[in-house]
Structure 1
Amino acid sequence: MKIAFFSAKTYDKDFFNRHNQPYGFELQFWETHLGPHIVNAIDEDTDVVCAFVNDRLTAEVIAVLASKKVKVIAMRCAGFNNVDLEAAKTHNIRVCRVPAYSPEAVAEHAIAMLLTLNRKTHKAYNRVREQNFSLNGLLGFNLHGKTIGVIGTGKIGKAFCKIMLGFGCVVVAHDPFEDKELIIMGVRYLPLKALFSTSDVVSLHCPLTTENKYLINKDTVATMKPGVTIINTSRGQLLHTDDVITALKSGYVTYLGIDVYEQEEKLFFKDLSGSIIEDDKIQRLMSFPNVLVTGHQAFFTEDALSQIATITLNSINELVNGLEVSDPSVILA
């Protein structure tokens, strides 16, 4: 059986080859993202397409996959907003994902961004290397006792809540499905407006849907506490970039940490150090001293990559061979 991987990096090859030994699948790796520009180049004997966050599984692309007899689309990530599920169902192509791969990896990265922005360890590191031991401009604040607003308490959001409780924070949350364990631990669920108005830090851990696109915009920012910190390790389009830039310029938003960006497919996972980046919005964001941008790095741990490869290959094996699916949450269509 042949699997074609798109948006494949060296680490994808390493981890999937390592965990493929029990299955013996034929693995083909493409560095380019999957979209209309490349889908016709897929070999006719390809059984499975394995895609990532910035691949474009539109109805047009899925129709071509169906014509080539592709049986499964395997998303090696939790998000699936870039897949036309209705088109996949129409063409009888099964779709699976990795709903939970080391949720602690993403939660810990969100906290790393929060601590870096607050305590300015990135600036201190560069100063000391230049023998500058001055503390001017490095003033931070205690997280202990601060109110942390968590939007989305799935596995990643839940892991984030637990860590913040360990810091001695007051944790409030918003999610359509309240987690009883978190409530017992002291997390208080609130409507969004109440969460925004009471939180010193707002951290996003929800999937992107049509309903919550640009959840963070000029109107919702206006309901937040002045001086709020916003962290987004979920999906770029949860945050309206222009509106947040305006809030940063006015000082209403004190810190912003983003590991995702609404136009990231043109930037992230690439070495552009020798290029001129034409995206004025990301350039503007990176010009702020109180903004931290990382390139969709939150998932990037040894543990998470091993789990992604293991879960993806197991799901493919079950779907292609008609076996009973061990975890129904991985199946999207």
Structure 2
Amino acid sequence: MTEEKKQPLIALFDTKPYDKEVFDQLNSEYGFKIKYFQYHITPDNCILAKDADVVVVFVNDIISKEVIDQLTGFGVKLIALRCSGFNNVDLKYAKGKIPIVRVPAYSPNAIAEHTVALMMTLNRKIHRAYFRTRDSNFTLNGLMGFTMQGKTAGVIGTGKIGKALVKILRGFDMEVLAYDPYPDKKYAEEVGFRYTDLDSLMQMSDIISLNCPLTRETKWLIDKDAIDMMKPGVMVINTGRGKLIKTSDLIDGLKSGQIGSAGLDVYEEESEFFFEDLSDRVLFDDTLARLLTFNNVIITSHQAFFTREAMLNIAGTTMENIRAFLEGEKLVNEVVFSEKN
């Protein structure tokens, strides 16, 4: 009599209703047993994953040494990130203890489109116009923007998202400068933009967009020194990671007028706030509260990725990563510690 094969158990943390919907939809093809938990994973609740083969986490779940030790102690064999970034994982400590996989690209166009939406909203003051007309105020005072055609956009990071963004901006007939330590000069020639050094990009751009990963080299890429060399009135957009910008310096730049506007889909200390409904509480983060007072700042809650297509891609790649691991295949989306991380 053959022993019945054990159904793999997946513990999925930081679950929202839309996560459950797409994972349940795709799981009909895989047949995993999935337990959903609405909480972030922490050292205090790792016990919830005690019987799991795989733990699935999101961008604001901190995978620390303590968490890794507990999960491996419980017999968890794989940590699957359902996001592209991995700065929330102690990769150095995880190396040799438990494999980490991620979703490297789920919808570059979704994030690029949201980036442009932030640019257009800030430029043409659409957020302010919306509230005015709701109050039957149809004046145009204070709503003047600029024509994007002919202006210079600086794109920092030309991975898949950066490339999608460049293509859209070239559609506006903008001049595009780009910085990337690994430039794709063939793509630049095809699309019609040019690579330059970081200082030149800061000095020459009317709009600067951050589309690079967070590493030791890029932490606080935008700080006082960078802001001081920018054009007065520059627009800064961040749909990458919160710690690419030193927020206190950004606020100083906004107060002085050196930064004319800012669109932020991410924030340095977002893990306590983003993806949660805190409308019935006092916002205890003074820095975030200060940012929200500026009428030339738009903050969205890490939603640049959030399209139906992207959610299905995230769930699909995550499930494939898990299947490949359980079947002993090569993990094409594994993240391994290196000195560059």
The normalised TM-score by structure 2 is 0.94
The residue aligned with 1:165 is 170
CA contact (8 A) 1:94 1:319 kept: no
- The alignment partner of 2:305 has SS state of coil
What 5-or-longer segments of structure 2 have no aligned partner?
A: 1-7, 337-341
CA distance in 2: counterparts of 1:194 and 1:171, whole angstroms = 12
- The alignment partner of 2:321 has SS state of helix
Deviations 1:271-296 (A, max 9, x none): 00000011000110010010000000
CA distance in 2: counterparts of 1:324 and 1:48, whole angstroms = 16
The residue aligned with 2:144 is 139
Deviations 1:155-209 (A, max 9, x none): 0011000000000000000001111212332111011001000000000000000
> By how many angstroms is 1:324 displaced?
4.1
1:294 partnered with 2:294: no
CA distance in 1: counterparts of 2:129 and 2:223, whole angstroms = 32
CA distance in 1: counterparts of 2:253 and 2:47, whole angstroms = 44
CA contact (8 A) 1:200 1:229 kept: yes
Matches within 5 A, 1:111-260: 111-179=116-184, 180-260=186-266
> By how many angstroms is 1:121 displaced?
1.1
The normalised TM-score by structure 1 is 0.97
For 1:272, which of 264, 275, 278 is the aligned residue? 278
Matches within 5 A, 1:11-50: 11-43=18-50, 45-50=51-56
The residue aligned with 2:5 is none
Aligned length: 328
> By how many angstroms is 1:147 displaced?
0.3
The residue aligned with 2:334 is 331
CA distance in 1: counterparts of 2:243 and 2:254, whole angstroms = 18
CA distance in 1: counterparts of 2:176 and 2:276, whole angstroms = 36
- The alignment partner of 1:260 has SS state of coil
> By how many angstroms is 1:141 displaced?
0.5
Matches within 5 A, 1:80-91: 80-91=86-97
Regions of 4+ moved over 3 Å: none
CA distance in 1: counterparts of 2:174 and 2:44, whole angstroms = 48
CA distance in 2: counterparts of 1:46 and 1:33, whole angstroms = 16
For 2:82, which of 76, 90, 101 is the aligned residue? 76
Q: Percent identity?
A: 50
- The alignment partner of 2:295 has SS state of coil
CA contact (8 A) 1:71 1:320 kept: no
* Residue identity matched to 2:70: V
What 5-or-longer segments of structure 1 have no aligned partner?
A: none
CA contact (8 A) 1:203 1:230 kept: yes
